[in-house]
């Protein structure tokens, strides 16, 4: 059973930073492309960042480009999201996600993802 567990969400002031983590089990981590997807209040789910199996390719939403870095440690089966210069509009629940094997696609389309964690709450105050 694929399990994804996010952590690291918090309440921070605008301009602050957070590092989210996603620990995984039940899959051969380095065979799956991964993504961070967020759900902001009143909005549809939005792909924030995606990463290839080796980490050599990354993809970012325009709304976070230059402020966010996605990375992975395949030895630790863990996905990360470093977020800097946070804005109130970054507030939301952040999910770690991947697709059904074989999943090599780097995409920000939430519809492509079959496995999701429970999410971690990020709140950015003005």
Give the pLDDT score at 115.
97
At 44, is the secondary structure helix, strand, or coil?
A: coil
Closest to 37 (Cα-Cα) out of 95, 82, 84, 88: 95
Look at residue 101 and tell me whether its pLDDT is greater than 90.
no
Q: 10-57, pLDDT tens digit by residue? A: 999 999 999 999 999 999 999 999 999 999 999 999 999 999 999 999
CA distances from 113 to 1, 14, 16, 86 (A): 15, 30, 29, 25
Look at residue 82 and tell me whether its pLDDT is greater than 90.
yes
Look at residue 110 and tell me whether its pLDDT is greater than 90.
yes
Closest to 95 (Cα-Cα) out of 113, 79, 117: 117
Give the pLDDT score at 6.
98
């Amino acid at each position: 059973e694929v399990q994804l567990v996010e952590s690291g969400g918090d309440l921070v002031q605008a301009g602050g930073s957070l590092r989210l983590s996603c620990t995984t089990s039940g899959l051969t981590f380095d065979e799956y492309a991964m993504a961070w997807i967020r759900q902001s209040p009143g909005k549809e789910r939005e792909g924030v960042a995606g990463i290839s199996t080796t980490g050599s390719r990354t993809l970012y939403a325009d709304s976070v480009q230059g402020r966010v870095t996605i990375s992975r440690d395949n030895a630790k089966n863990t996905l990360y999201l470093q977020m800097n210069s946070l804005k109130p509009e970054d507030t939301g629940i952040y999910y770690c996600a991947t697709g059904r094997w074989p999943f090599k696609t780097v995409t920000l389309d939430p519809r492509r993802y079959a496995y999701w964690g429970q999410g971690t709450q990020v709140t950015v105050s003005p």
